[in-house]
Amino acid sequence: MSVTPTASPSRPADPTQAADLEAVRRAISTTARPAPASPLSSVLTFSWRAMLKIKHVPEQLLDVTITPVMFVLMFTYLFGGAVAGSTAAYLDYILPGILVMSVLFTTVYSGVGLNTDLTRGVVDRFRSLPIWRSAPLLGPMLGDSVRYVLAGVVIIVLGVALGYRPEAGIGGVVAALALVVVFSFGLSWVFTTLGLLMRTPMAVMNAGFMALFPLTFLSNVFVDPATLPAPLEAFVDVNPISILATAARGLMEGTAVGGDIAVVLAVALGLTLVFLPITTHLYRRG
């Protein structure tokens, strides 16, 4: 007879087998403790976890494929005529820009995913393991890069279907996508930091999009800044997203400027150097 709360009798019993206590005891007594996993091996194990999550819930990739398609169609056909005179001309201008925008918006999901983890108990276990402390943060980058590349490929395929023909051919397109992905890795640490500071995954998503929308619209992704009022134009010109869009356009058209690419890489490195340690510190602190 017990004083602990008992489940109502209507609840179905656990359908599975019971634990085999003899086997449990054998299992406990048999293992020797192996040397802890190396940093590389733990990062790869966390990457494997990220890939399993995509495998089990492939629907999560819908977000990163449907949104870019909407962006391309909406901007090309809604604004194309008004902004650039014809949809075909605008497509040439905007496609690399939308590539940048779509992939950058995908970086917010890094923070959302981390925050989702935190709302569950599993992070406590990871943090109690004798592993390299940055491994749980670096591992998911592989899963993230799948999202980035997927979002990018969807844009490019759709663009080509609509008549976009990059001058620099497939090599230029791959180079542009690679540059955008590298920048996204840097930016994603901003959102993982946010993911560790905010209370719910939804809040992270909202904050992330609220930060990215103005930054993207105040860039040269959609319009040539020459038509803007001077102070705005000055901001647009130094906005890293403008520089990234210009570099991506250049790579796809075969007119890339080395300086732009260098600036993009430097900003990505800078974001990583600042926000990766902050993320690691916050994750460790719990």
Partner 1 sequence: MASQAHLAIEATGLVKRFGETSAVDGVDLAVHPGTVYGVLGPNGAGKTTTIRMLATLIRPDEGTARVLGHDVVTEAAAVRASVSLTGQLASVDEDLTGRENLILLGRLLGLKRQDAKNRATELLEAFGLSEASGRLVKHFSGGMRRRLDIAASIVVTPQLMFLDEPTTGLDPRSRNQVWEIVRALVAEGTTILLCTQYLEEADQLAGRIAVIDHGRVIAEGTPSQLKASVGSGSLHVRLMNPEQRPEAERLLEHALGTVVLEADPAALSATCAGGDDATLALSRLSSSGVRVADFSLGQPTLDEVFLALTGHPADAPDDGSTSLQEEHAV
Q: Give the contact letters, 43-72, x = binds to partner 1 (CB under 8 A), - = no.
A: --x--xx--xx--xx---------------
Q: Is 170 in the site for partner 1 (CB under 8 A)?
A: no
Nearer to partner 1, 80 or 201 (CB): 201
Q: Is 281 in the site for partner 1 (CB under 8 A)?
A: no
For partner 1, the binding residue among 59, 82, 121, 230 (CB under 8 A) is: 121
For partner 1, the binding residue among 25, 165, 199, 281 (CB under 8 A) is: 25
Q: Is 167 in the site for partner 1 (CB under 8 A)?
A: no
DSSP, residue by residue, 96-134? HHHHHHHHHHHTHHHHHHHHHHHTSSHHHHHHTSSS-TT
Q: Is 24 in the site for partner 1 (CB under 8 A)?
A: yes
Taking the C-alpha atoms of residue 138 and residue 140, their distance in angstroms, rounded to an integer, is: 6
The CA-to-CA distance between both ends of the chain, in Å, stands at 40
Taking the C-alpha atoms of residue 53 and residue 37, their distance in angstroms, rounded to an integer, is: 22
What are the phi and psi torsion angles at 2 (to 5°)? -130, 160
Let me know how long the chain is.
286
Kindly state the number of chain residues that form the binding site for partner 1, as judged by CB under 8 A: 53
Strand segments (E) across 1-153: none
Range in contact with partner 1 (rule: CB under 8 A) among 12-20, 91-99, 203-211, 215-223: 12-20
- Residue 10 identity (one-letter amino acid): S
Residues forming the site for partner 1 (CB under 8 A):
1-4, 6-7, 11, 13-21, 23-31, 33-37, 41-42, 45, 48-49, 52-53, 56-57, 120-122, 124-131, 135, 285-286
